[in-house]
Amino acid sequence: MAGGRCGPLLTALLAAWLIAATSEAGPEQAALPEEQSLVLPMSASNWTLVMEGEWMLKFYAPWCPSCQQTDSEWETFAKNGEILHINVGKVDVIQEPGLSGRFFVTTLPAFFHAKDGIFRRYRGPGIYEDLQNYILEKKWQLVEPLTGWKSPASLAMSGMAGLFSMSGKIWHLHNYFTVTLGIPAWCSYAIFVIATLIFGLLMGLVLVLISECFYMPFPRHLSEGSEQSRRSEEAHRAELLQDAEEEKDDSNEEENKDSLGDDEEEKEDLGDDDEAEEEEEEDSPTTGVDEEQSDTQDQGSPREAQEEVEPDETKEDVPEQPRSTDTELAEDTLRQRKSQHADPGP
């Protein structure tokens, strides 16, 4: 009986000892410090640290397989950061969408090198050996820096960071509606559309109120005086236009009168020319007759002289030649002219 009772007692004592041993071993294991990561998580509150010294930044997402493959290489690179005299950081684009917009990250993983506020994009494989050579051999000097509006510290990139932050908040709110509350996706979209319209109306109302506050209306008498002056100016302009049109019409009438007078003068000149030509034509036959008379007189005088000189005997010896019709006509005209000269004029 004694042996049977001792057996359960021994097992109970052994079990109690094992429990005590395990309870003592647990706190000792929990007290062991975990291996601390030397990669500094960056956020919108502490990202300005990269403006001083030399840094290497990695942009990643927890769901990205390529980012997970480079985690161990990035940790090894951070452990040797003191030897390389460089600080190593990382940015979760899901938790910090504003920083991803500030650096305009479009692919993951994305690496950046910063030296005294000058940023450059590292496009290597992201393994430890290549990162180490990139720093030791100063290959970053061969890369074009992000200057001007592309710099993460510029005003343009600050605005981009604000837009990305807003989009991240909207995305989280959409997940809250669809996942936590179980609202359908189209209802969530409708809520965002209505909220956008209401926000636009409110902003328009605020702008109107601001303009009303800064706008100083004119007194009534000044407004009436300005209206009267405006009307007088319009009437004056209308009078000027009317005067200009009348002057234009007068000038056109004068031009028409001048053109008509010139046409009449030209017609008179043409009529005078025609009369002169007719008078010349009337004078031309009388002059032609006088010329013919003078010619025939010149021809007749030598004939008469020859007839007087020649003796009568020669006339008898030489037989008379028959006269031609031309000579007869010439003699007839000569006789008529002589008779005309012989008759006294009236």
Q: Can you tell me the distance from the alpha carbon of 122 to that of 110, in angstroms, rounded to the nearest whole number? A: 8
Q: Can you tell me the distance from the alpha carbon of 242 to that of 236, in angstroms, rounded to the nearest whole number? A: 10
First-residue to last-residue Cα distance in the chain: 210
Tell me the pLDDT band of 251, cut-offs 50, 70 and 90: confident
Query: Catalytic: 67?
Result: yes
Beta bridge partners of 112: 57, 121
What local confidence, expressed as pLDDT, does residue 318 receive?
A: 41
Give the three-class secondary structure for 87: strand
Confirm whether pTM is higher than 0.95. no
More confident residue, 225 or 324: 225
Tell me the pLDDT band of 282, cut-offs 50, 70 and 90: low
Q: Can you tell me the distance from the alpha carbon of 55 to that of 89, in angstroms, rounded to the nearest whole number? A: 7
Q: Can you tell me the distance from the alpha carbon of 30 to that of 230, in angstroms, rounded to the nearest whole number? A: 90
In this predicted structure, which of 177-181, 211-215, 274-278 has the lowest mean pLDDT?
274-278
In this predicted structure, which of 61-70, 171-180, 232-241, 295-304 has the lowest mean pLDDT?
295-304
User: Which domains does the chain carry?
Assistant: 40-148 (3.40.30.10), 158-215 (no CATH)
Query: Catalytic: 6?
Result: no
What local confidence, expressed as pLDDT, does residue 150 receive?
A: 87
Sign of CA dihedral 202, 207, 211, 214: positive
Catalytic residue among 6, 67, 187, 213: 67
Q: Can you tell me the distance from the alpha carbon of 174 to that of 170, in angstroms, rounded to the nearest whole number? A: 6
Q: Can you tell me the distance from the alpha carbon of 177 to that of 184, in angstroms, rounded to the nearest whole number? A: 8
